[in-house]
Amino acid sequence: MYYLSVEHGGRGGCIVNVASMAGLNPNPFSPVYGCTKAGIIHATRCYAVSEAAKKSNIRLNVMCPAFVDTPMFRQMAAGDASQTIGGDQTAVNAFIERIGVLSTEDVSAALIDILTDETRNGLILRCAKKTGNVYSTLTVQDV
């Protein structure tokens, strides 16, 4: 945000943080990973409503993909126990089967949509094989 800001020579812009569906919906296999992703989601939403971002015309959004076919995913799907807790690969495989697996092209297309649509700010973009791309907020009730 410092370098995008007008007072430091920037022209504003769009920051897209990469979290995960695991930061929104609980799963029993990766609690610490899920906690870090929940933190990324909340940090993004807080900075998106900051004066610093508004003043400098900076948009911030966060992507929450479900499974994506990458080296990390393949390592986990192949049974690398360092990626999950519990050691029950049959249960992990059933979970993957239920959720489905996105291609990296699917995720890239979603990223381009956030970057190019200037109305998107402070939003969570869920990306999943079965539901497609869905934008939302998480605000439950204003205080």
Ligand X SMILES: CCCCC/C=C\C=C\C(=O)C/C=C\C/C=C\CCCC(=O)O
Q: Any idea which residues carry the catalytic annotation?
A: 33
* Cβ-contact 66, 127 below 8 angstroms: yes
Residue 18 in the binding site for ligand NAI (CB under 6 A) = yes
Residue in the block written with tokens 């989601």: 41
* Cβ-contact 40, 19 below 8 angstroms: yes
48 — phi, psi (to 5°)?
-65, -30
Residue 130 in the binding site for ligand NAI (CB under 6 A) = no
Question: Which of 30, 44, 56, 61 is the binder for ligand X (CB under 6 A)?
Answer: 30
Residue 27 in the binding site for ligand X (CB under 6 A) = yes
Q: Residue 69 CB, nearest distance to ligand NAI (Å)?
A: 7
The footprint of ligand X on residues 80-139 (CB under 6 A) is 83-84, 92, 99
Proportion of the chain in helix, strand, coil states, percent, rounded to 5: 45, 20, 40
Residue 135 in the binding site for ligand NAI (CB under 6 A) = no
Residue 27's binding partner, choosing from ligand X, ligand NAI, none, with beta-carbon cut-off 5 to 8 A by kind? Answer: ligand X
43 — phi, psi (to 5°)?
-60, -45
By CB under 6 A, name the binding residues for ligand NAI. 18, 20, 65, 67-68, 70-73
